[in-house]
Amino acid sequence: MTKVRNAGSVADPVPRAAKGRYSVAGRVIEASAPAPGLHVVATPIGNLRDITLRALDVLAAADLIACEDTRVTRKLLDHYGITTPITPYHEHNAAEARPKLLARLAEGAAVALVSDAGTPLVSDPGFKLVRAARADGHAVTALPGPSAALAALAVSGLPTDRFFFQGFLPVREAQRRARIDELRHIPGTLVLFESGPRLAAALADLADGLGQRDGAICRELTKLHEEVRRGSLAELAGVYAAADAETRGEIVIVIAPPETRETDAADIDSMLRDALDRLSVKEAVAEIAAVTGHPRREVYQRALAIAHVRSEEPQ
């Protein structure tokens, strides 16, 4: 049971709390000990008040917190007076650190996993730890909360019923353009992360590869200088290429889905014939189903019919 007590000095907005306690609004709260296992804890993407009480309970009372950058996580813990030990876990030390964390779990410890910001495993290496923990029979619990991808999608003003999270595009231009070409036929809103220095080049390639689609640049969400800039991809590329917009901070790009039109059976058959000239039946069906939004099973049946007719035609 969580207990609340006065912090003692209201002049100190963040009193230091003992192990298993945290401070909120001048009060020290005693947290209940979490169950043994791995606890995947979402943390704020900017505004430190965007954290759940459940997350604070676990962070305060866990035996250990595994985090990407100890300096970043320490700022959050200090803000709430949490003294739980922390240890780095990131892509550069994961192979060495993962067995040590699994050993702690095997001892019955409660280990919290956090990223620098947002929900762990989204664009970070945490999934290997979760997979290994589950393979070893340890409980894995999610504590949902902030997510930059979902926050950007919510404020973008673009369709939210179906979306695809890409993460960061490749750095090299040729690889980036190839990845954009793969994204071209996905029938949903696209959500991408990008850094400020690469934003203009990425938008130029997106405009070239995806055509006239609407987009939104969501920057510094939940922070003091939060900004959402809307426009076509071409317009946005021009704005950022001319350095007329701020590019510092965390950036999420949200892109509208491709325009679709009603396609009848004749349209689908025509598209399939063209696709079958250059692709296998399986590949052609996947492409046309993605472009038209028609059920894959229906497209597959039509593709088989076309392939059968072709096989019986005189050579």
DSSP string over 132-144: HHHHTT--EEEE-
Domain 3-146 and domain 149-255 have a common topology: no
CATH architecture classification, 3-146: 3-Layer(aba) Sandwich (3.40)
Between 281-292 and 296-312, two packed helices, what is the crossing angle to 10 degrees? 140
pLDDT of residue 229: 97
Q: How far apart are CA 57 and CA 20, in angstroms?
A: 8
The pLDDT score that the predictor gives to residue 22 is: 96
Low-confidence ranges of the chain (pLDDT < 50): 1-17
Specify the pLDDT at position 263.
64
Please say whether the beta carbons of 222 and 146 come within 8 A.
yes
Question: What is the rounded CA–CA span in Å between residue 128 and residue 259?
Answer: 37
Closest alpha carbon to 144 in 168, 101, 114 = 114
Q: What are phi and psi of 219, to 5 degrees?
A: -120, 135
Q: What top-level class would CATH report for the domain 149-255? A: alpha beta
**Domain coordinates of the chain in residue numbers?**
3-146, 149-255, 265-312
Residue with tokens 């696209």: 190
The pLDDT assigned to 18 comes to 58
In the block, residue with structure tokens 């009193």: 15
What's the pLDDT at 15?
A: 46
Q: Residue 240 belongs to what H/E stretch?
A: helix 233-241
pLDDT at 240: 94
User: What gap in Å lies between CA 271 and CA 267, rounded to an integer?
Assistant: 6
CA dihedral 140, 55, 91, 138 (to 10 degrees): -20
pLDDT on residue 314: 65
pLDDT at 265: 79
pLDDT digits (tens, 9 = 90+) for 32-77: 999 999 999 999 999 999 999 999 999 999 999 999 999 999 999 9
Tell me the three state secondary structure of residue 65. strand
Contact in structure between 236 and 215 (CB atoms under 8 Å): yes
Sheet containing 21-24: order of strands: 3-6, 27-30, 21-24
